[in-house]
Structure 1
Amino acid sequence: MTLVDTNVLLDLVTNDPVWADWAVAQLEAASLSGPLMINDIIYAELSVRYARIEDLDAFVEQAELVLAPLPRAALFLAGKVFTGYRRAGGSRTGVLPDFLIGAQAAVQNLPVLTRDVGRFRSYFPTVSLIAPS
């Protein structure tokens, strides 16, 4: 199983000229190891690209993504890591989703397919990342 970060899916959805081919290749490779997973946070982040829930659900189904809810242990860990981030001077905006995704990966021992490795490497060093070189 692989947890797929929003940025990789948006590269696919938007047919990003720089990253779409990489995203497709990585998704295909990861799918050979088991299901491709998203959580509630990733689903919500993807929703900004869709006018209707039916269209987003059709994409999720077509991409064979499994929606896996966040376990309580991941929610707790994300809060603790976020607190440490804030105490170290981190900004308040736009980062909690990354901590929730990273915490789920850490708690469930899932690799993360992402292009945004900074926070994952800093705050979840045990999480295996599938990312561009």
Structure 2
Amino acid sequence: MTLVDTNVLLDVVTDDPHWADWSIAALEAASLEGPLLINDTVYAELAVRYERIEQLDAFLSEAGLELAPTPRAALFLAGKVFTQYRRSGARTGVLPDFFIGAHAAVGRLPLLTRDTSRYRTYFPSLTLIAPNAD
């Protein structure tokens, strides 16, 4: 199983000229390893791009994505790590990124993303599938 970050899906939805091809290839490769998952946070972030819930659900179905609820332990971890982040003086990050990272960490799921710096810093145990990932 692989948890998919919003940015990868938005690349596909918007046909991003720079990232769409990479994101499509990465999704296809990850799907060969097992189910592709999104959580409720990614679902909400994607909803911004759709007028109707049926349209979003059709995209998820077509892309072979499954909605997995965020475990309570991940919600708790997200709050704790976000607090650490804010205490460091940082103010540019948003809580949804921490929900996604904590879900992947607690579930021991690889995370397919293009936004690696915050995940590497605050969730160092994560396996990241990313451009130029280590």
Segments of 5+ residues of structure 1 without an aligned counterpart are none
Aligned partner of 2:80 in structure 1 is 80
Task: Read off the aligned partner of 1:6 and give its amino acid letter.
Answer: T
Paired residues, what number? 132
Matched position secondary structure for 2:33: coil
Q: Which runs of 5+ in 2 are unaligned?
A: none
Query: For the aligned residues, what is the CA RMSD?
Result: 0.8
Aligned residue number for residue 99 of structure 2:
100
Q: Which amino acid aligns with 1:83?
A: T
2:119 equivalent in structure 1: 120
Distance 1:122 1:95 in 2: 15
Query: What TM-score comes out, normalization by structure 2 length?
Result: 0.96
Asked whether 1:29 is paired with 2:60, we answer no
Distance 1:87 1:15 in 2: 37
1:54: which partner in 2?
Answer: 54
CA distance in 1, matches of 2:55, 2:65: 14
> 1:25-82: per-residue Cα shift (whole Å, max 9, x none)?
0000000110000000000000111011110010011111010000000000000000
TM superposition score normalised by structure 1 = 0.97
Match of 1:32, SS?
helix
- Percent identity over the alignment is 73
**Alpha-carbon distance between aligned partners in 2 of 1:73 and 1:105, rounded to the nearest angstrom:** 11
TM-superposition CA deviations, 1:73-99 (whole Å, max 9, x none): 0000000000111111121x6510010
Query: Could you list the runs of 4 or more consecutive aligned residues of structure 1 that deviate by over 6 angstroms after TM superposition?
Result: none
* Matching of residues 5-44 of structure 1 within 5 Å: 5-44=5-44
